[in-house]
Structure 1
């Protein structure tokens, strides 16, 4: 059976703004939607049942009922026995903040995995490997992810730099970029205007853009070749970087594993230099 989530992701660029909002909710909350009536879903998202029906028609279903059955089947097949960690978390109780935090982050990572297909990850890695120059950019809550990704990609390929969009004059850099270069932009609500401006300018100059953001309705979407949506919710007031860091770490690891001919020689040379320098403290 075809995965309804993947079908939504493949068609998202063709949807209306209202349909994208519905699709975002479905992708982020597949378990809830699998058991909501069309009226209930319309009420939650703040749209009409007609919009939802048209959305399901546009991705190849006869209606919401058939779409929902497909979603239920996928979730049923994905279900697995509780892990020890999940069981331990359940036993902690609602008053255990540490346990609730862990449960929230595990849920966010699972939501992120539901939103990003392996195909999109493969396409992202292909763009990274073939890029002549890579610019990672972010501000505020996304900055640690951009810093981590910059370090990892530069260690692997030697062609990556970080631009902090709200303090750096990125215009001088982007005017010299070409279609052989890649911008990886990271931004979450409230979206930074400088990041949106950066991606818009880069895209207008023919530069490839991959965005790590929270949804397909993000303002970065229309300026991006690929979107990696990550659940940024937290149990407090802030955007959490855990899910996006999870994705960044996966990309670094998968690139090293999948492209050894490209990365191993450089990694060996870097390690040799660091060893000669006695760079790391050894106990």
Structure 2
């Protein structure tokens, strides 16, 4: 069940504003005016910025029915995913003191994204997706913007295991032309993270209308892609800057490809043996005996 407080936290703060103490109202007003900055502040930093005690920040979170400040912070992060412009993301990144701070912040954010993905992944849904990948007639992968890198990666490796994978993109032909023959025997894997591509959503909607099964690889169950999906796969992508964090989604894709590969182990062993002969014959990869 979606936590409505987190879905529309700013409205919740405005609703509770008259009941707050003087110090809590200062915090509330700062968050309303600067939610994009507050989402990345510690309780201590927010307290110093507003001019209240850290305990007042904690009590403010409690007043909004959060267990503590970290939960309130996560609520803010959910809001800004779709509201922040690229310019605002650049401004956030400029607050880092130096390159060393940037390195630590980004790597830590990616580690947290993988950890959160592992803790919250629905294993039953994951297994059902593996089943669908193995038994669908054709697999269409739909992704645009920065998510095209994930689509290319997933398509490349699935095509080494299977022979029925198509990557749908905005190339010479229209996306709908590429999906013209889609049917209820097919699977569509839509990939999208904030800010969500309207064209990706249109393509998934078309797939649903044709009776195809839809898998969404996205960041949240309240994502517009997840709402269209028969099987939502959730990978956290909380960003530390203007660059989208795609580490957790890529890790989930790795797991999906490996799981499918193990289902088709005997088939792909023969296939890879043939590939190795071709790679060696045509010098695709550097040989160990080459100097």
Q: CA RMSD in A?
A: 2.8
Q: Within the alignment, does 1:219 sit opposite 2:224 as a pair?
A: yes
Helix, strand or coil at the partner of 2:66: helix
Residues 233-244 of structure 1: pairs in structure 2 closer than 5 A = 233-244=238-249
The structure with the largest alpha-carbon Rg is: 2
Q: Within the alignment, does 1:263 sit opposite 2:288 as a pair?
A: no
Q: Within the alignment, does 1:129 sit opposite 2:154 as a pair?
A: no
Q: CA deviation at 1:37?
A: 5.2
- C-alpha contact 1:141 1:240 (8 A) present in aligned 2: no
**Structure 2 gaps, min length 5:** 9-60, 77-98
TM-score (normalised: structure 1): 0.66
- C-alpha contact 2:147 2:192 (8 A) present in aligned 1: yes
Residues 1-283 of structure 1: pairs in structure 2 closer than 5 A = 15=1, 18=4, 21=7, 39-41=64-66, 44=72, 45=75, 96-165=101-170, 168-282=173-287, 283=290
Relative to structure 2, which stretch is displaced further, 163-172 or 124-133? 163-172
TM-score (normalised: structure 2): 0.64
Superposed CA offset, 1:12-68 (max 9, x none): xxx57848949xxxxxxxxxxxxx85843299459xxxxxxxxxxxxxxxxxxxxxx
Q: CA deviation at 1:214?
A: 1.0
**Structure 1 gaps, min length 5:** 1-14, 23-35, 47-93
In structure 2, C-alpha distance between the alignment counterparts of 1:206 and 1:128, rounded to whole Å:
16
Q: CA deviation at 1:179?
A: 1.6
1:97–1:153 distance in 2 versus 1, CA, 3 Å: same
Helix, strand or coil at the partner of 1:40: coil
1:165–1:18 distance in 2 versus 1, CA, 3 Å: farther
Q: CA deviation at 1:175?
A: 2.9
1:38–1:123 distance in 2 versus 1, CA, 3 Å: farther
1:168–1:116 distance in 2 versus 1, CA, 3 Å: farther
Size of the aligned set, in residue pairs, is: 210
In structure 2, C-alpha distance between the alignment counterparts of 1:261 and 1:178, rounded to whole Å:
29
In structure 2, C-alpha distance between the alignment counterparts of 1:177 and 1:185, rounded to whole Å:
14
